[in-house]
A and B are shown apart, each in its own frame.
Chain A
Amino acid sequence: MKVLVCIKRVPETGARITLTADEQEIDTSFLGFTISPHEECAVEEALRIAGGETTVLTLGPAAAEEQLRNALAMGIGSAILLETDGREWGPEATARAIADAVREGGFDLLLFGNESADSGGYQVGIRVAHLLGLPCVTGIKGIDFADGAATVRREVGGGWEIFDVSLPAVLTVKEGINLPRYPSLPGRIKAKKAEITRVDPEWVAGGLEKVRLVVPQEEASQVEILGEGAAAAPRLVEVLKEIGVA
């Protein structure tokens, strides 16, 4: 089975987000980068699909090579970089570039994260499916294959919804579907030398137009310290009764 997994390079934000002076981006001067968490699980899932011929793809700046090499180090077979000039691409342009790049690739399965950690648009996977005329199921936390079809599960209110979907298909996965492996040392060495296919995607104007980013105001702390240690238990019970939960 030929599996494509699409990932996104995102900053590793700390306790507080700081913006650039023009309020257009997160100030990443002191931040590292990582693969968006749902997508890291998509990489792991691609590796678990037995006998898989796996390709990782990202759309991003030249520096996104780091995330492709991380996926290669985990065991993915080959990598494609849709290289941008660093400006942010919206979901429509991103989906179109991905669809154009993989249309002739003969993939049986295209894996995405359910939503990216940073922009959280919840739509690139679905838009790619639409452009390629493929079925799509989102929010997947379990995949099984039999006879050219996939049975996939997603969690709803503590229970599960189960879908049967024919291949080829697009699936967007959620963290929790698996626990991603750490890259092995030989994996890292191999990934360092691997060739990456580079493609210049075509920018398409339009879509949601970003005006600026805003760090939400934190409400001033109103914390009431009820006490220290086990001695606080009686006061704690009083408070639980006041709130009406005990």
Chain B
Amino acid sequence: MILVLVEPGELSFEALALARRLGEPVEALVFGADGAGLGVSKAYVVEHERLDAYAPEAWAAALVELVERLQPEAVVAAGSDRGQEVMAHVAARLDAPLAANCVDVQPGNPYVVTRQRWGGSLLEEARLSGAVKLLTVAPHTIAAEAAGDGATVTVEPFTPSLGEDDLRVRVARREEPEAGTVSLAEARVVVGGGRGVGSAEGFAVLEELAQLLGGAVGGSRVVTNLGWRPHHDQVGQTGARIAPDLYIACGISGAIQHIVGCKAAKRILAINSDRNAPIVARADYAVIGDLHEILPALVAELRR
């Protein structure tokens, strides 16, 4: 049996898709949802009065409790912030290895996993052994297809036994994003700017384009390090990994650390003065020239 950690959000469906390749049946431990529509044979839906807020060690304790009861062959989680964090706690508690950010897994004993290093610009093939194999799925590398009609066969409530230590780290409060802002991770269009934008003020036209297209503005590491954009706008290995329908890379040369952040985009449009910039080779479309001439013309054309 393969056990999947399911949390709210699309990435858990990628974990479910990978789990189905490893074997049947697939069961799920579900936080923050009712367990329907996962296409698993059994969903354990967590019910606990203290788990109204996210608590990483409590999630791990719940997983470990279920692992000990059900003895699954493997536990799979999404390569989300929570997935990585909870699985690392599980691995520490079970004193077992964890393969983070897998893009492919050959079942067997041991599993042969292919996982991302360097944010995905390098891959590692490795053998993962142990009584229970722990792995997370690299975001946007496995299609989140549904199984059959997607129905969950059995739903069972599950109340883990938690100690005080499991709850010592717990979200105390949240600050929601400003209304109307489009987050980089979810935007359908991202307009990214690099050194070629030239200044913080130079981003005004990128902002305007993003607004016209209902998208978000991002930047390269250079741009956030220069203080032209806040760090949370950074696209790349140490910033956001984006997967929009279109990424418009303006004045970005395309360093490997940037490419790993944007390569899950369905299409890339490069606007660059250098025909030979690496980003142009990675793009689907390119316009060659000065972005400060091209973008205002594009904005004007869109407004016509």
Contacts and interface: CB of A to CB of B under 8 A. Distances in A.
Interface of A: 13-17, 26, 37-38, 90-92, 95, 115, 117-123, 126-127, 129-131, 135-139, 141, 151, 154-166, 174-176, 179, 206-216, 218, 221-234, 236-237, 239-240, 243-246
Given A17-B122, A156-B81, A230-B297, A120 B101 contact: yes
Contacts of A207: 97
B168 A135 contact: yes
Given A13-B121, A15-B255, A213-B117, A162 B100 contact: no
Given A126-B88, A179-B225, A91 B298 contact: no
B201 interface: no
A188 to B, nearest CB: 21
A11 B178 CA distance: 39
B125 A214 contact: yes
B212 to A, nearest CB: 8
B89 A117 contact: no
Interface string B141-181: 00000000000000000000000000011111111111001
Given A119-B124, A159-B174, A161-B54, 9 more contacts: A120-B100, A158-B183, A211-B112, A213-B123, A215-B123, A222-B284, A223-B283, A232-B297, A245-B246
B213 interface: yes
Size bracket, chain B contacts? 35 or more
B93 interface: yes
A233 B294 contact: yes
Interface of B: 54, 56-57, 81, 84-85, 88-89, 91-93, 95, 97-101, 110, 112-114, 116-129, 136, 168-178, 181, 183-186, 188-189, 212-213, 215, 224-225, 227, 231-232, 234, 237-239, 245-246, 255-256, 267, 269-270, 275, 278, 280-290, 293-294, 296-298, 300-302
A17 B85 contact: no
A72 to B, nearest CB: 23
A92 B184 CA distance: 34
A163 B170 CA distance: 6
A208 B184 CA distance: 33
B175 A160 contact: yes
A16 B168 contact: no
B169 A243 contact: no
B267 A226 contact: no
A211 B284 contact: no
Contact of B245 (A118, A156, A245): A245
Nearest to B177: A158
A223 B285 CA distance: 5
A211 B114 CA distance: 10
B97 A90 contact: yes
Contacts of B99: 208
Which of A13, A130, A137, A208 has the most CB atoms of chain B within a 10 A radius of its CB?
Answer: A208
A161 B177 contact: no
Nearest to B189: A245
The 6 closest A-B pairs by CB, nearest first: A176-B231, A158-B177, A130-B92, A230-B297, A123-B88, A229-B289
Given A139-B85, A159-B175, A162-B174, A210 B123 contact: no
Contacts of B293: 229-230
A205 to B, nearest CB: 12
Nearest to A11: B118
B285 A13 contact: no
Contacts of B246: 240, 243, 245
B231 to A, nearest CB: 3
5 contacts: A15-B278, A160-B175, A161-B54, A174-B238, A244-B245
Contact of A130 (B84, B93, B114, B170): B93
B183 A175 contact: no
Nearest to A92: B97
Contacts of A176: 224, 231-232, 234, 238-239
B284 A175 contact: no
B100 A236 contact: no
